[in-house]
Every structure is written in structure tokens, then in C-alpha cells.
């Protein structure tokens, strides 16, 4: 019998090579597919630019794939069917086409995949000539955007539900160096599961723009999709925080799994 590499039979080598290639393919095949929606410009572009290389690096380490879009126009049922997770990375809940709105609602309501929203995803109201999206307002706890701290403030975020999977490895409280803290017409607490809130007494500099009970991370248990909203998402300095990156990573790995 012919051999290669000394005494190894040819057929053994072939079997070994095939098995090795199958292992490589298994390792490189994405575990899940993520759609990231990020605005192409405006005040939040610096955050989105900082988020992208970090997300790409995480995707490589955790073996998932990412597609990026900066417009909601392509969204329909068939388009969303490719993804196990949608990340609204500072993407607003208005100016969507009716077909895209309907597809997104079905995706969340029927639990076709997970969802993580950041910051601008709660810019709910009448903006740029568009009316409020009632379903999305309900999804976010029935809130409407009211005001924000335009000159920014540092503040302490306190964890309320340390047992939630996205809080694994996260301390009981952590500082956010720079944020433009939104306030809403009411707290969403009555309609969502609050995971963390900002302590308004820790604002530096102090601000009169406060809402009292002020959740900043929450999930809506009424929806079949695994979902979490994380308010912090304006400044690229967030990606200098290991705590913030841990929450972001945990949220992705949790929300992408059914």
C-alpha cells in the first residue's frame, strides 16, 4: 500500500485532511447574523464610527457576522429573515417606510430574532415632519421624548437587576463620563422591566433637566423577541469603558439566542 508522510496510508491522510477541513469550516461559519442600523451623520456619527471597529473585532472573536445599513429603506420581511439580531445603533424610530415598519413590528412581536436599541432609538415624537410611531412608543414603555441635557453631564448608573444576563460581570454602579441624558414625558417603569437607572443627583455639572425615576436600561417582557434598550450611546468615550463594552457584549450574546 502506498503511503505518505512515512507510514501513514493514503486513505488515512485523506480522511484526516477532510476532517480537518470540516473543523475549519465549522469554526468559521457564523453562529448568527446581525443587522446594525447606524445613522450616516449628525451628532452621533463619532459614536457610530467608534462602535464599528469594536463590533467587527467582537464579531471575529465570537464568530458572528454583521451587515451595516444607514437607511431603513431596504427593510421588509424577507430582508429581516436573514438576521437573528437587530441592533439599532443610534437609529431613529421615524422616517421608516410603511413596509419596513410592518416587517419590524412582526419581527419583534413574533420573536423572529432579538433586538438591542441604543440612545436615539427613544427619540419618540414628531420630528422632521414625521409623526410618532405608536407601536414603537408602546415597545419602549409608552414614552415620548421630552427634553435632554444639551451640554452633557457625567453621572452614575445604578444596576437594579443584577441577575439579568446582560449584567454578568458588571459592578453595582458605574460612571458614564459624557452623556446628553434624555428625559421623557413619564418613566417607562410601569410597562417594562427596568435593569438600570441613572442617579440624577450625581449629575456633574448639575442640571435642572430631570425626570425623577429615570430608567436607562430596560427590556419589554410583553414582546416575544429578546430585547433590551440601552440609553447610553452618544459619545465615543463610552468605548473607553470596560463596563460599557461588557454590557454591550453581553447584550449581543443574550439577545441573539432564542
pLDDT digits (tens, 9 = 90+) for 22-70: 444 445 789 999 999 998 877 778 999 999 999 999 999 999 999 999 9
pTM (2 d.p.): 0.89
Helix (H) or strand (E) holding 201: strand 193-204
**Residue-level pLDDT at 21:** 43
Nearest CA to 196 out of 222, 227, 232 is that of 232
**Residue-level pLDDT at 27:** 54
User: Rounded to an integer, what distance in angstroms lies between the CA atom of residue 44 and that of residue 40?
Assistant: 9
Q: Domain residues of the chain, as ranges?
A: 32-255
Nearest CA to 213 out of 232, 192, 234, 233 is that of 192
DSSP class per residue in 125-159: S-BTTBPP-HHHHHHTTS--EEEE-TT-EEEEEEE
**Which residue in the block uniquely carries the three cell numbers 436607562?**
216
Residue stretches of the chain with pLDDT short of 50:
1-6, 8, 10, 12-26
**Residue-level pLDDT at 19:** 44
**Residue-level pLDDT at 111:** 98
Task: Please list the helix, strand and coil fractions of the chain in percent, rounded to the nearest 5, in that order.
Answer: 35, 25, 40
User: Rounded to an integer, what distance in angstroms lies between the CA atom of residue 226 and that of residue 115?
Assistant: 6
User: Rounded to an integer, what distance in angstroms lies between the CA atom of residue 124 and that of residue 132?
Assistant: 6
**Residue-level pLDDT at 42:** 74
* Cβ atoms of 79 and 106 closer than 8 Å: no
User: Rounded to an integer, what distance in angstroms lies between the CA atom of residue 127 and that of residue 123?
Assistant: 9
**Fold of the domain spanning 32-255:** Rossmann fold (3.40.50)
Amino acid at each position: 500500500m502506498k503511503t505518505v508522510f512515512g507510514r501513514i496510508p493514503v486513505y488515512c491522510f485523506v480522511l484526516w485532511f477532510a476532517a480537518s477541513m470540516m473543523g475549519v469550516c465549522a469554526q468559521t461559519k457564523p453562529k448568527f447574523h446581525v443587522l446594525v442600523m447606524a445613522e450616516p451623520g449628525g451628532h452621533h456619527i463619532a459614536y457610530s464610527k467608534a462602535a464599528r471597529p469594536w463590533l467587527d473585532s467582537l464579531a471575529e472573536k465570537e464568530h458572528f457576522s454583521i451587515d451595516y445599513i444607514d437607511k431603513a429603506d431596504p427593510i421588509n420581511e424577507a430582508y429581516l429573515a436573514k438576521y437573528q439580531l437587530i441592533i439599532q445603533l443610534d437609529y431613529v424610530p421615524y422616517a421608516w417606510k410603511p413596509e419596513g415598519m410592518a416587517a419590524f413590528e412582526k419581527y419583534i412581536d413574533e420573536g423572529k430574532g432579538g433586538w438591542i436599541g441604543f440612545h436615539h432609538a427613544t427619540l419618540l415624537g414628531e420630528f422632521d415632519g414625521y409623526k410618532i410611531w405608536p407601536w414603537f412608543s408602546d415597545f419602549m414603555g409608552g414614552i415620548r421624548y421630552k427634553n435632554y441635557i444639551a451640554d452633557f453631564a457625567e453621572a452614575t448608573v445604578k444596576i437594579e437587576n443584577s441577575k439579568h444576563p446582560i449584567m454578568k460581570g458588571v459592578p453595582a454602579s458605574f460612571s458614564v463620563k459624557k452623556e446628553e441624558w434624555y428625559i421623557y414625558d413619564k418613566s417607562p417603569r410601569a410597562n417594562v422591566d427596568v435593569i438600570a437607572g441613572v442617579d440624577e443627583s450625581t449629575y456633574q455639572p448639575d442640571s435642572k433637566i430631570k425626570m425623577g425615576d429615570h430608567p436607562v436600561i430596560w427590556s419589554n417582557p410583553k414582546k416575544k423577541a429578546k430585547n433590551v434598550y440601552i440609553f447610553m450611546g452618544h459619545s465615543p468615550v463610552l468605548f473607553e469603558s470596560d463596563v460599557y463594552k461588557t454590557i454591550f457584549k453581553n447584550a449581543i450574546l443574550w439577545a441573539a439566542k432564542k
